[in-house]
Amino acid sequence: MGARPIYYDTETTGVRVDRDKITEIAAYDPVEDRTFSHLVNPGIPIPKEASDITGITDDMVKNAPPFEEIGKLFVDFCEGDVILVAHNNDSFDYPLLKHEYGRIETDLPEWRYVDTLKWSRKYRPDLPKHSLQHLREIHGIAANNAHRALDDVVILHQVFSLMTDDLDIDTIYDLLKEDATTMQMPFGKYKGRPLRDVPKSYVSWLLDNGALDKPENETLKEGFSELGFIA
């Protein structure tokens, strides 16, 4: 029996994964038909611009548990052989989770991940946009309370099920991983080498110099992220 998917989403105080914090986390296990949804007290004020997007205010989270408690519950929910699925996972949700678990001095479990944004970009290059709400619209799925975590998780499951038809989650994971394992360095002193053979010190240098933040190097940055070279 293969892995089972866990669709998940986070709402936050902002988009800086190194300083912003989770205000809500939700997940859906379609195999066992279970849901997980909790507000989180981030311990810092929620900026108005974040509340305007998510609808989550300081008053709503003031009596909510901190991430230290919710993070443990989330690990329990994701017990077993699972692959976590999120939209823009590799650039946002995963780094955010890693920072949050680091703050409570807890190792992030060795989960595997699927980024549905990458899947959409790879297999639907004909689309002008790849946001979750745009994918919802083109697949004719009714709107819900966008930007609340559990609502986004439900939509993501519906959308991605249509996009992948009858592929199992292990196959989907392997198809996305092929990009990083076969990609070669396109420039610089290690040009032509497989990404996995590029020294991590060189990747850090590219990051520090902003080379991986250029739009034309987005795929390269994603490849290093998939290989675990970028946190």
Q: Which residues are catalytic?
A: 147
CA distances from 62 to 20, 67, 72, 209 (A): 17, 13, 19, 40
3-state SS assignment for residue 83: strand
CB 55 within 8 A of CB 134: no
Identify whether the C-beta of residue 124 lies closer than 8 Å to the C-beta of residue 162. no
- The answer to whether the Cα torsion of 210, 101, 9, 16 is positive or negative is negative
Say if CB 179 and CB 192 are below 8 A apart. Answer: no
- In 3-state terms, what secondary structure has residue 198? coil
